[in-house]
Amino acid sequence: MTEPLLETRGLRKTFGALVATDGVDFDVRPGETHAVIGPNGAGKTTFIKQLSGELRPDTGRVRFAGEDVTPLSVPRRSRKGLARSFQITSIYRDFTALDNVALAVQAHAGHSFRFWNSAREDSSLRRPARQVLENVGLEKRANILAANLSHGEQRQLEIAMALATQPRLLLLDEPVAGMGKDESLRMIAFLASLKGDKTIVLVEHDMDAVFTLADRISVLVYGRIIATGTPVEIRANQEVRAAYLGEDL
């Protein structure tokens, strides 16, 4: 079997008496879409923050692409190819859509201690940024201020920024959160088009999205992973059903 692209061993994080992450072993194989689901308060956000570097685990390690990245900051992990989208839309609202994506390209184009030439006229940033916008279907909205995009478009922009960093792994934190039915179907179709090409960790509440996209699913309950398996296996798992207390899986 190939070595996992991302792997955690014995990850543990507490906040006072609350054990938010409780000895999590987790792995993501190259090319797979691995979903993390769990009831509210299961510790999904705490977990993903330890993958991205926003939180440090109390104990345990995070390995990425064969390297221990546990002590690395968010920007360092990003430059190693770990890109993240946020549950609550996090974009540059006062910049245009194209500026948003061009900044993500720029972050991975060497240092930015360049003081003279206009970044907005730099085709080595603008061209790839336009390409990514086209890929996510936002090319016609390139010059609109991000604040003026619809909620669905802002979610797409968020993914576009993650993609523009040419990541080896995408951490998607509830990419269809707050979307209408049509918008969320379009987003799911778009994410499906990335499958195989990109390795994805998908944290999501929307079960349609999870069961459509995931190759494997891990179920997080009270900071522990109680099951990992294919969608079919997870659907049949009694413990998982109990955790969701009759919610339709």
Report, in Å, the least distance between residue 52 CB and other proteins: 7
Within residues 9-38, the interface with other proteins by CB under 8 A covers none
Q: Out of 3, 71, 119, 148, which residue is the one contacting other proteins (CB under 8 A)?
A: 119
Within residues 48-107, the interface with other proteins by CB under 8 A covers 52, 54, 73-76, 78-79, 83-84, 86, 90-95, 99, 102-104, 106-107
Q: Output DSSP code: residue 141.
A: G
Q: What is the rounded distance in angstroms from the CA atom of residue 121 to the CA atom of residue 11?
A: 45
Report, in Å, the least distance between residue 116 CB and other proteins: 6
Structure tokens at 181: 């039915």
**DSSP-derived pairing of the beta strands 33-37 and 199-203:** parallel
Q: What is the rounded distance in angstroms from the CA atom of residue 123 to the CA atom of residue 131?
A: 12
Beta carbons within 10 angstroms of residue 148's beta carbon: 12
Q: What is the rounded distance in angstroms from the CA atom of residue 221 to the CA atom of residue 25?
A: 14
Q: Does 132 bind other proteins (CB under 8 A)?
A: no
Q: Is 51 exposed, middle or buried (0-12, 13-18, 19+ CB in 10 A)?
A: buried
Q: Which is nearer to other proteins, 90 or 150 (CB)?
A: 90
Report, in Å, the least distance between residue 222 CB and other proteins: 27
Q: Does 166 bind other proteins (CB under 8 A)?
A: no
Does residue 44 contact residue 38 with C-beta atoms inside 8 Å?
Answer: yes
Q: What is the rounded distance in angstroms from the CA atom of residue 190 to the CA atom of residue 136?
A: 7
Total of residues contacting other proteins (CB under 8 A): 39
Backbone angles phi, psi at 204, to 5 degrees: -155, 145
Nearest to 157 by CA among 147, 166, 171: 147
Report, in Å, the least distance between residue 82 CB and other proteins: 9
Q: Does 123 bind other proteins (CB under 8 A)?
A: no
Q: Does 240 bind other proteins (CB under 8 A)?
A: no
Report, in Å, the least distance between residue 233 CB and other proteins: 33
Part of the chain binding other proteins (CB under 8 A), chosen from 5-13, 117-125, 187-195, 240-248: 117-125
**Residues at the site binding other proteins, with contacts judged by CB under 8 A:** 52, 54, 73-76, 78-79, 83-84, 86, 90-95, 99, 102-104, 106-108, 112-120, 122, 125, 161-162, 164-165
